[in-house]
Structure 1
Amino acid sequence: MSVATMRQAVRESVSGLPRAFWWLWASTLVNRLGAFVATFMTLYLTQDRGYSASFAGLVVALHGLGGVISSLVAGVMTDRLGRRPTMLAAQASTAFSVALLGFMEHPAAIAAVALLVGMTSNASRPAVQAMMADIVRPEDRVRAFALNYWAINLGFGVSAVAAGFVAEYNYLAGFLGEAALTLVCAILVFIKLPESRPERDLSAGAVAEPEVRLGTVLRDGRYMGVVGLSFLVSLIFTQGSVGLPVAMGEAGFTPGDYGLVVMVNGLLIVVLQIPVTRFIEHRDPQKLLVASALLAGYGFAMTAFAGSIAVYALTVCIWTLAEIVNSPTQMGLVVRLSPVHGRGRYQGVYTMSWSVASLVAPLMAGFVIDRHGADWLWAATGVLGTVAAVGYWVLMRGLPRETPAAKAAPAPAAPVAPAVGPTSAPAGGA
């Protein structure tokens, strides 16, 4: 491929998206550049503070539990208060709680603040995803979600290396650095991002729009089916950070070997996310989700046959390709199934599926490996991938394609005047 062709491909991948999207993208990148706590929490507690592995596991679990709780609360806030106020509140409170965690000494205080960090750091996700759906045209959403996912992985990859050097110098500096970058993220939102929540049509004679509450989401059978399938896929992908290092350690490989293998995941996402998204952008999402579920399940299942770093890296290549395809496609499906005035709640429930998986996956990996061995864990991922693929095939049968009229649905193309306070919130409870 010539340089000119590559430039044309990049230009087509990033063109046509509104300015507000790029400020949202920039805030995501800055936020992930400061991802210190999620990466080094276990090492900080065991190596720097001298706590046991079991206490470190408890703290990490509480951090994940905070994400489960905040997913639903933030989803409601996103719809009732607005996207922008929710993001500002989440990012400001994250900066405060992360900085506070670095100064905690008592085990109970560390555990309590870790729960708070988990709640605040996950609270902005429904708002970010809802705002992205608001401001990007339907036909561009898969590309937009892919670019955002690319920013997440690029930022995380850079932060993991930088934070490693910071941790060798001073862990407190890592906590304060993440707090500072999160504040920068909040400043970007405050200065550059207007509120995007669609207003209800209250004009005389307008068709009354049904109120969307959490109960509405939970009674939406097709959508909750997608959330359940998302949970299964999340269980599979999370094994890359919980099951894989344990299995490689039991097989005699070093932490450095695991680091080299898992590095392939981040590298491939950074290199392939944009070109693969251009290839899949307008293809049938049902087939893409079925294929990605099978690739994820059997990519991990192949780990049972790995005996060298090269083969482990090959399995990572397979399930990373599944991740590249699944993430933007599934996000596009979630938005497609979400009513305009209920996007926050719908996104909150979807985000919760990943948070719950982050709690269940370590327990699943530990139980299966201890009782039956790592090969049974990898066989289980193959089964989960097959179940998810069949589920996607069944749930998406009869789902109509987006029509030109749907693609013309209103999305704010031009920014409106920024306002810190909420716009008119719908009445009623959560």
Structure 2
Amino acid sequence: MGNFIWDTNLKVRLMGEGLFNLLFWMYFPFITVYFGEALGYHTAGLLMAVPPVFSMLGSLLGGAMADRMGRRPVMLIGTVLQTAMFACFALSSSYWIDYFSFIGIGIGGAIYRPASSAMVADLVPAQHLRRVFATFSTSNNVGAVLGPVLGAIFFFHYRQELLWTCTVVLLLYFIAINRLVHETRPFSLNKERISGSVLHVLKEQWRGYGIIFRDKVFMVYIAAGIFALIPIMQLDMYLPVYVMEHVPSQALFSWKGDSFMLSGKEIFGWMVGFNGLLFVVFILPVTKWFQHWKERNVFILSSLLAGAGTFFVGVNSNIWYLFLITIIFTFGEMVRSPVTQSFISRYAPGHARGQYMAADSMQNTIGKFLAPITVFLSSWLHPMGIFSLILGFSLISIMLYIRLFRMNVEQQGISA
């Protein structure tokens, strides 16, 4: 990391987000299955397409607020909203209250993320961004190693206790942000006064987003990211449905006539845990290996590995084969994560960094909106038809990334 010194803000976020993500991965991979078993997978596929719409609106609002109010207040708002929604989820006795609580959790996280990412970009020099974002990815994925394995037990048998633990951890994180985190919004922005009615403020922020959405290079980047993320998101969407319905119970290993048997649910939990383990062990080395690669080539490689890797899940149901394929699609996700965040941090102008971060998150929220189409179509299509569709999305993203960097070079040539 050279001579870069970690700010207190970064340390608090690294520990707080890392702890919460341990709990997050104990429930999130199973949420589609949870609603699918209760309401039917056809209904669940439709329902899971709705939360990203609200998350997108929350993200746009959070980004605008981060540039206007500051990063810290918006992070506090997002955290307290998630805390309240987890408490509501824990107290609920209705699947529909569970569902609306899940939407609220997503909105709180969407409000939080642009301000959080903007804070990193405010504090970290451009040459260190990839490494810092990779470190955050490592912290966030430590929980992904054990979370899904434990979640296969705790989410289905001790759900209330798990949700209350999430509530308490987020409450403690809210207190830590309030006491230890300082504001990082650029000084030139701090001199601006917050004035006018709420309607006036919203109109002003919408005009700011209008400028961003007319940025053709940026919009191609968003479109490419949407198609690239749909295959990556299948780990939380179609893959649990496929593995639990089509992968038979089998032995992980045998020893002297005894076998360690895993059910479909447990096999999926191990796959997600292995995915997280790969992130923890390899995210920093992979970031270093690819630090001299052009961003264009990293994005293309990511889309190819994620799409092809997910496609080949449907070829064989052997547990060790599935672990091998998990390596392929995990590396597809892994190589893009730090590059995506460093690309937009460098591309966005300082005065609108929060809004660009929020607009950048649209690829994630729109991707989540479209990703459940695989679950919805699984009632009619053969699994290989679904996996072929997923591969098609990744090929579209590759073509868009090629177009993006051609446009970016042309734009830089004109402005030079």
> What band does the TM-score fall into relative to the shorter chain?
0.7 to 0.9
Residue 236 (str. 1) matches residue 236 (str. 2): no
- Residue among 76, 82, 94 paired with 2:64: 76
The Cα shift of 1:196 comes to 0.7
* 2:360 match: 350
Deviations 1:77-119 (A, max 9, x none): 1111111000011101211121022212345544433332221
Identity %: 23
The Cα shift of 1:241 comes to 2.5
* 1:188 match: 176
* 1:263 match: 273
* 1:98 match: 86
**Is the contact between residue 269 and residue 324 of structure 1 (CA under 8 Å) also seen in structure 2?**
yes
Higher helix share: 2
Residue 214 (str. 1) matches residue 209 (str. 2): yes
Where 1:281 maps in the other structure, the secondary structure is coil
**Is the contact between residue 91 and residue 124 of structure 1 (CA under 8 Å) also seen in structure 2?**
yes
* 2:14 match: 25
* 1:391 match: 400
One-letter amino acid matched to 2:355: R
Q: C-alpha separation between the residues in 2 aligned to 1:352 and 1:343?
A: 14
**Is the contact between residue 30 and residue 185 of structure 1 (CA under 8 Å) also seen in structure 2?**
no
* 1:327 match: 337
Alignment of 1:100-249 (within 5 A): 100-106=88-94, 108-163=96-151, 166-167=154-155, 170-200=158-188, 213-249=208-244
**Is the contact between residue 296 and residue 323 of structure 1 (CA under 8 Å) also seen in structure 2?**
yes
Mean alpha-carbon deviation: is it higher for 168-177 or for 131-140?
A: 168-177
**Is the contact between residue 144 and residue 273 of structure 2 (CA under 8 Å) also seen in structure 1?**
no
One-letter amino acid matched to 2:71: R
Where 2:14 maps in the other structure, the secondary structure is helix
The Cα shift of 1:214 comes to 1.1
Distance verdict in 2 for CA 1:260–1:196, change over 3 Å: same
Mean alpha-carbon deviation: is it higher for 349-358 or for 89-98?
A: 349-358
Distance verdict in 2 for CA 1:158–1:285, change over 3 Å: same
The Cα shift of 1:59 comes to 5.7
One-letter amino acid matched to 1:117: I
Mean alpha-carbon deviation: is it higher for 169-178 or for 109-118?
A: 109-118
Mean alpha-carbon deviation: is it higher for 51-60 or for 154-163?
A: 51-60
Q: C-alpha separation between the residues in 2 aligned to 1:51 and 1:202?
A: 49
One-letter amino acid matched to 1:338: A
How much is the aligned-residue C-alpha RMSD, in angstroms? 3.0
* 1:375 match: 384
Mean alpha-carbon deviation: is it higher for 387-396 or for 248-257?
A: 248-257
- Residue among 290, 309, 317 paired with 1:280: 290
One-letter amino acid matched to 1:186: F
The Cα shift of 1:135 comes to 0.6
Distance verdict in 2 for CA 1:28–1:106, change over 3 Å: closer
Deviations 1:252-273 (A, max 9, x none): 4222223333332111111111
The Cα shift of 1:231 comes to 0.7
Q: C-alpha separation between the residues in 1 aligned to 2:390 and 2:129?
A: 29
Mean alpha-carbon deviation: is it higher for 87-96 or for 301-310?
A: 301-310
Q: C-alpha separation between the residues in 2 aligned to 1:375 and 1:202?
A: 54
* 1:412 match: none
Residue 289 (str. 1) matches residue 299 (str. 2): yes
Q: C-alpha separation between the residues in 1 aligned to 2:57 and 2:189?
A: 32
Where 2:187 maps in the other structure, the secondary structure is coil
* 1:206 match: none
Aligned residues: 382
* 1:299 match: 309
Distance verdict in 2 for CA 1:190–1:156, change over 3 Å: farther
Q: C-alpha separation between the residues in 1 aligned to 2:247 and 2:350?
A: 52
Alignment of 1:48-67 (within 5 A): 60-67=48-55
**Is the contact between residue 131 and residue 196 of structure 1 (CA under 8 Å) also seen in structure 2?**
yes
* 2:28 match: 38
Deviations 1:313-336 (A, max 9, x none): 222111111111111111111112
**Is the contact between residue 66 and residue 117 of structure 1 (CA under 8 Å) also seen in structure 2?**
no
Q: C-alpha separation between the residues in 2 aligned to 1:389 and 1:61?
A: 24
Deviations 1:171-204 (A, max 9, x none): 222221101111122122222221111132799x
Q: C-alpha separation between the residues in 1 aligned to 2:333 and 2:346?
A: 20
Q: C-alpha separation between the residues in 2 aligned to 1:163 and 1:370?
A: 26
**Is the contact between residue 222 and residue 360 of structure 2 (CA under 8 Å) also seen in structure 1?**
yes
The Cα shift of 1:283 comes to 2.8
User: Structure 1: which 5+ residue stretches go unaligned?
Assistant: 1-11, 204-209, 404-430
**Is the contact between residue 42 and residue 379 of structure 2 (CA under 8 Å) also seen in structure 1?**
no
The Cα shift of 1:58 comes to 6.1
Distance verdict in 2 for CA 1:255–1:133, change over 3 Å: same
One-letter amino acid matched to 1:359: F
